[in-house]
Amino acid sequence: MTSPSRNPFRAELLAPAGGMEQLKAALRFGADAVYGGMANYGLRASATNFDADTFPRAVALAHDAGKPFYVTLNLLPFDSDMAGYLATAKQAHAAGADAAIVSDVGAALLLHAQLPELTLHISTQANVLNTPTALHFHQATGASRIVLSREMSLAHIRTMRDSLPQGLTLEAFVHGAMCVAYSGRCLLSTALTGRSANRGECAQPCRWQYHVTEEKRPDESLPVTQAERGTYLFSAYDLCMLPHLPAMLQAGIESLKIEGRMKTAYYVATVVSAYRQALDMLACEGESAYDAAVPRLLAELNKASHRKSNTGFYFGEPLPAAGAQGPSQSMEFVAQVADSASAGEPARLLVKNRFFVGDALEVLTPQGSKPFTVEGITLAETGETVKTVSIAGTYIYLSFPFAVTAGDIVRGQNRNHRDPSGNP
């Protein structure tokens, strides 16, 4: 696999693959590279992940598409983990993983000594904030990429990029959930549930609703910050840098990372598609065309699950830093095209959520969204014509006024949607 181009308006778009369906969505809708975990030693133990059988297939799928697959080995290991950690890294390398994302310096040194042919990327969990630290990882462990600490500004990143060798690339988050703790090194989950975020078992207590009680009134709870959907005292805003991609690229960031290994295939497809369109527009049509498209692409991002967003630390301290409402999305995944079909021909679909004849829906394709109106629904098993379908997993036939391809996503208005607003 080749390194990302140094063209100032081109960068690698790196997408999460929490499981096989998310991987397929990332590749189909425009990711340049993907990252995902194996059963152990990653920081998303609750994701589907890939086992010894599925991991080689996942890597092969990415390689068949001409895209690299980076494996997450970013758990903070104890001595008792090291033998298993090394064995897992060897399995990942044998399966063809293009790099391992590592957060612990001891683990990085171990892999450099015992498995030097495996490329290393230093995780954001390592909290790299300055040039000497980046150079240390590069020189001591042979690391070829630094996933920057989330607390860095674009000005700091530009200074670091100018001071590093060209063989050491920089990766930074561009979109997704943010942790209230310092670069994700959180102890809240351990304290409240006994599940360590640094061991891949975060229960996400920062997303819970909280109230306070007065000592003499233990049965009377008081909201700290009341929003329409509840109180989210510790919940950080999501990150959304789509309106600021030129600034990120001009700072010298070679890889733009979308957070979300716990997210659905629908989320991955929607977000990757929006950023792919934005990056291609910048590279091919210029900043004026990109600027004009930003409002449309932000609306596109709102069609997948999101919280209020800000720009993180890229332009200084994030304001507000916490207190984001719960998730919202303007559209929902109602069906997926199972078999390709020409315009006007019946296409077989797999139902995900309920919809009706007469609904105005749209199909998300790698080329963008295409609206249509449902004119008829036929059950694939019986041939019966129905007015609505609501059981997930049902196969149906629909006709479209345009050609559709297997893997295209059909989505409709979320009937329970309430816009949290506040996006940049």
Beta bridge partners of 212: 222
Six-digit token string for 314: 């890229």
Is the separation of the CB atoms in 27 and 75 below 8 Å? Answer: no
Is the separation of the CB atoms in 100 and 92 below 8 Å? Answer: yes
Question: How far is it, in rounded angstroms, from Cα 288 to Cα 304?
Answer: 26
Residue 196 placed within a domain: no
Q: Cβ contacts of residue 88 below 8 Å, gap of 6+?
A: 38, 40, 41, 73
Instruction: Name the amino acid, one letter, at 25.
Output: A
Among the residues of 96-231, which ranges form H helices? 105-114, 131-141, 154-163, 188-193
Count of Cβ atoms closer than 10 Å to residue 224 Cβ: 14
Q: Look at residues 246, 279, 310 and tell me which one is the last residue of a structural domain.
A: 310
Sign of CA dihedral 395, 396, 401, 403: positive
Residue 255 and residue 349 share a domain: no
Residue 394 placed within a domain: yes
Residue 343 and residue 305 share a domain: no
Domain containing 55 — which CATH number?
3.20.20.70
Question: How far is it, in rounded angstroms, from Cα 125 to Cα 66?
Answer: 28
Question: How far is it, in rounded angstroms, from Cα 387 to Cα 34?
Answer: 40
Q: Look at residues 310, 342, 369 and tell me which one is the last residue of a structural domain.
A: 310
Give me the average pLDDT of each 10-residue run along the chain (424 residues).
Answer: 50 96 97 94 68 95 98 93 95 97 96 98 95 98 97 96 96 90 63 65 68 74 56 75 97 97 95 97 95 97 92 88 77 97 97 97 96 97 96 97 97 75 45
Of 111, 206, 128, 112, give the one whose Cα is nearest residue 169. Answer: 128
What pLDDT score does 342 carry?
Answer: 97
Residue 116 and residue 256 share a domain: yes
Residue 380 and residue 281 share a domain: no
Residue 137 and residue 102 share a domain: yes
Domain containing 373 — which CATH number?
2.40.30.10
What pLDDT score does 326 carry?
Answer: 73
Residue 352 and residue 303 share a domain: no
Residue 148 placed within a domain: yes
Residue 348 and residue 272 share a domain: no
Residue 418 placed within a domain: no
Residue 398 and residue 286 share a domain: no
Give me the number of domains the chain comprises: 2
81 half-sphere exposure, CB direction, 13 A CA radius = 16
Is the separation of the CB atoms in 10 and 257 below 8 Å? Answer: no
Residue 398 and residue 290 share a domain: no
Which pairs from 198-201 meet CB under 8 Å and 24+ separation?
A: 198/43, 198/75, 198/76, 198/125, 199/43, 199/45, 199/75, 199/76, 200/41, 200/42, 200/43, 200/44, 200/45, 200/46, 200/75, 201/45, 201/46
What pLDDT score does 194 carry?
Answer: 73
What pLDDT score does 4 carry?
Answer: 40
Question: How far is it, in rounded angstroms, from Cα 279 to Cα 10?
Answer: 7
Residue 258 placed within a domain: yes
Residue 364 placed within a domain: yes
Count of Cβ atoms closer than 10 Å to residue 388 Cβ: 12
Residue 32 and residue 174 share a domain: yes
Residue 101 placed within a domain: yes
Q: Is the pTM of this model over 0.85?
A: yes
Which domain covers residue 339, as residue numbers? 331-413
What pLDDT score does 8 carry?
Answer: 58
Instruction: Name the amino acid, one letter, at 14.
Output: L
Q: What is the DSSP string of 184-218?
A: G---HHHHHHS--GGGT----GGGS--EEEETTEE
Residue 343 and residue 306 share a domain: no
Q: Look at residues 281, 310, 339 and tell me which one is the last residue of a structural domain.
A: 310
Beta bridge partners of 378: 385, 397
Phi and psi torsions of 328, nearest 5°: -145, 155
Phi and psi torsions of 409, nearest 5°: -110, 130
SS (H, E, C) 24-35: HHHHHCCCCEEE
Six-digit token string for 370: 């295409």
Residue 201 placed within a domain: no
Count of Cβ atoms closer than 10 Å to residue 399 Cβ: 18
Residue 361 and residue 271 share a domain: no
Of 167, 166, 168, 121, give the one whose Cα is nearest residue 147. Answer: 121
